[in-house]
Structure 1
Amino acid sequence: MTPLRQKMIRAMDLKNLSHHTRRAYLAAVNGLAKHYKQSPETITNEMIEDYLLYLKNEKGNAPASCCLVLTGLRFFYKHILDQQIDVGFSLTKTPRKLPTVLTKEQVWKTISAPKNLKHRLILMTTYAAGLRVGEVRRLKPDHIDSQRMLIKVVDGKGRKDRYTMLSKKLLKELRHYYKACRPQAYLFPSTYKKNKNKPLSYETVRSIYEKARKKVGVKNGDGIHTLRHSFATHLLEAGYDIRKIQVLLGHSRLSTTMIYLHVSRETLSKVPSPLDLMDINHASKEDSTHGPGHQT
């Protein structure tokens, strides 16, 4: 490990950054250094701009991904090299895309696809409780509160704890899983013996979802976060209050949860077209009464 990397890890630890943020920031600096095959200390602002344009135009990275790289680089140059980087890259014209949502049938096929019991329970828990990948990875057996039918989410996004629902069907499956696998430190531990007291990696959980989705022929819904989107939308379509869904998801702002109103088929289908509100027969009679050449 290089001295610069050690200093950056220490700085991120002092800032109490989340594990996900640390990984992203380290990857940003590492990617820049590998691209130019030289130390970040010798890289100029213009070279950083060229690298971001390379990521956007040639690699096809989304503007949000490029900005995350830039945020990581700014952290490194400010806190490690004591330099300010002046790079003109922004998200001012980034369109907001609606989340992809699976039907209930597609969700059930996907979460039932894995033959491996642990893999099946990971997908079922993610959907049933509306969890993020990092949240389902870090679940521990004592986070399952069967008395109050709640799941405690510890250290969620923004380092916040919250409670979400515990499905009766999920509880039944989790009890069967616990008897069969006897998890200790984490509910879904790593399969490697040397890491048996550590959670599964992000890559493993994402791979479990992608393999299951493709196995049953679900072509839409890239990324396991689709299960969380589907959780929120299906609750909304079932008639549950959007503010309660906001709490279950752990959103700080209601506006973030409101996006599911735009993808809810039930919500949209209840709004009639203005064409259907027209009294065609009445309108036709009025026109015939006025006759040709009538002015209003």
Structure 2
Amino acid sequence: MSPLKSITLYHLMINNQKMIGIKFAPDKLIQSLIKGLPNPKWSKQYNMAYIPNTKGNLGVVFNTFKGNVWINYNRFLTNRPNSSSNEIVDIEWFRKRKPIPDYRLCPEEYLLKLELKRYANSTVRTYVHFFEMFINHYSKKDLNTIDEMDIRAFLQLLIQKKVSNSYLNQVINSIKFYYEVVLGMPNRFYEIERPRKESKLPTVISKVEVLQIIEKANNIKHKCIIELLYGSGLRRSELLNLKPTDIDSNRMLVRVKNGKGRKDRYTLLSKTALEDLRTYFKEWKPRTYLFEGQKGGKYTPQSVLKIVKDAAIKAKIAQTVTPHVLRHSFATHLLESGTDLRQIQVLLGHGSSKTTEIYTHVATNTFKLIKNPLD
């Protein structure tokens, strides 16, 4: 039985016009069918045939090849859902910025799409920053004429500056968002190479060191912040979004609303933290958020980082301690005490068990059963 003939559809931009690219292995039947398409042409650059990208033409492609050739739409269509977040997306301040001479601001359609898709504000800031950096590198070039080679050249410059893999991936995401989401050409730059994912072990400190850090906190407010980061395994952003009503003292749980991945979950509340929270609440009387600045409103991420770092320095901890180190330590200590990995995954709000499994590489009970050959 002969293998099934197939074509793969791509998004192309040729002479500033959207095109449907059609890639295929040499085949007389496919070549004959392509000749019957509306105004087919051949691109030496992309090594594929193409026709104008219209809804009508997409239907023509389907009707022409159905029953004869399998059509691969994976590079052409996307099923990615919009965000379901209820967070208010703050785009206006980007729009109200004063024009800077010889500096290209992010196109309005880019901002509008971020707004309509309800991307998190942190993602909006990141995407706008990196995309403006990219379009100003090619300030003399029309955006729609930029191709894969231009993107690769720009990424190569960043690699030469020794930026991190995470940084590079965020740049790629911001660029792809414009060409694939804003312009409605999903997977157009599918072939752009991404850096290999780094496999770094989480930094963990001992329970004794955590208690020493808590002891060195400046005041009851700072103490409660550190206790919740560690005792509930919270991300910094989750801590900052907490409201007094999220502390469930009856069930000894903390409710995390709209965590990473737009997920709600419950996590543990320690008795020690609850006692200190009651003292803190009477003294500081927070209104909207559990932790607020001196003038009210949400506490800043920078303040939380400083609280943790300063307390760790006072406690003379050798390692650099951040809010996420406390979260890593929470998960690792639970695993070491015999808590099931699936339960830890739920408490941390991980979408995949693979993310949680990283803690098996740093938990001491993983190694205790192994006899050292020197002994």
Q: TM-score, normalised by structure 1?
A: 0.80
Deviations, residues 251-288 of structure 1 (Å, cap 9, x unaligned): 12222211111100122112234787xxxxxxxxxxxx
Distance 2:256 2:320 in 1: 24
1:236 aligns with 2:335: yes
Distance 1:204 1:6 in 2: 33
Higher relative contact order (CA 8 A, sep 6+): 1
Structure 1 pair 114–40 and aligned structure 2 pair: CA distance change class (3 A): farther
Structure 1 pair 115–94 and aligned structure 2 pair: CA distance change class (3 A): same
Task: Give the aligned partner of residue 126 of structure 1.
Answer: 229
- The residue type equivalent to 1:254 in the other structure is S
- The residue type equivalent to 2:129 in the other structure is A
Distance 1:177 1:55 in 2: 46
Contact between 1:4 and 1:80, CA under 8 Å: does it hold in 2? no
Structure 1 pair 223–37 and aligned structure 2 pair: CA distance change class (3 A): farther
**Structure 1 residue aligned with 2:288, among 185, 197, 200?**
185
**What SS does the corresponding residue of 1:152 show, helix, strand or coil?**
strand
Structure 1 pair 113–129 and aligned structure 2 pair: CA distance change class (3 A): same
Shift of 1:40: 8.5
Contact between 1:233 and 1:264, CA under 8 Å: does it hold in 2? yes
Contact between 2:220 and 2:276, CA under 8 Å: does it hold in 1? no
Distance 1:162 1:155 in 2: 8
Task: Give the aligned partner of residue 168 of structure 1.
Answer: 271
Contact between 2:229 and 2:327, CA under 8 Å: does it hold in 1? yes
Task: Give the aligned partner of residue 175 of structure 2.
Answer: 73
Task: Give the aligned partner of residue 287 of structure 1.
Answer: none
Distance 1:233 1:69 in 2: 32
C-alpha RMSD of matched pairs (Å): 2.7
Larger Rg over CA atoms: 2
Task: Give the aligned partner of residue 271 of structure 1.
Answer: 370
Task: Give the aligned partner of residue 312 of structure 2.
Answer: 213
Task: Give the aligned partner of residue 28 of structure 1.
Answer: 130
**What SS does the corresponding residue of 1:148 show, helix, strand or coil?**
coil
**What SS does the corresponding residue of 2:267 show, helix, strand or coil?**
strand
Contact between 1:32 and 1:40, CA under 8 Å: does it hold in 2? no
**What SS does the corresponding residue of 2:261 show, helix, strand or coil?**
helix
Shift of 1:222: 5.0
Contact between 2:106 and 2:131, CA under 8 Å: does it hold in 1? no
Distance 2:159 2:224 in 1: 37
Shift of 1:41: 5.2
Alignment of 1:142-153 (within 5 A): 142-153=245-256
- The residue type equivalent to 1:245 in the other structure is I
Task: Give the aligned partner of residue 113 of structure 2.
Answer: 11
Aligned length: 269
Deviations, residues 118-169 of structure 1 (Å, cap 9, x unaligned): 2332122111100111111100000000011110000011101000011000
Higher share of residues assigned helix: 1
Q: TM-score, normalised by structure 2?
A: 0.64
**Structure 1 residue aligned with 2:193, among 89, 98, 112?**
89
Structure 1 pair 77–150 and aligned structure 2 pair: CA distance change class (3 A): same
Task: Give the aligned partner of residue 351 of structure 2.
Answer: 252
- The residue type equivalent to 1:27 in the other structure is H
**What SS does the corresponding residue of 1:139 show, helix, strand or coil?**
coil
Task: Give the aligned partner of residue 77 of structure 2.
Answer: none
Distance 1:144 1:164 in 2: 10
- The residue type equivalent to 1:75 in the other structure is F
Structure 1 pair 55–124 and aligned structure 2 pair: CA distance change class (3 A): farther
**Identity %, equivalent residues:** 36
Contact between 2:212 and 2:315, CA under 8 Å: does it hold in 1? yes
Note the residue ranges of structure 2 that are not aligned, 5 or more in a row.
1-93, 96-104
Task: Give the aligned partner of residue 6 of structure 2.
Answer: none
Distance 2:194 2:218 in 1: 45
Task: Give the aligned partner of residue 165 of structure 2.
Answer: 63
Shift of 1:85: 4.8
Shift of 1:9: 3.5
Shift of 1:64: 2.4
Distance 1:211 1:76 in 2: 41
- The residue type equivalent to 1:158 in the other structure is G
Shift of 1:62: 1.9
Structure 1 pair 103–186 and aligned structure 2 pair: CA distance change class (3 A): same
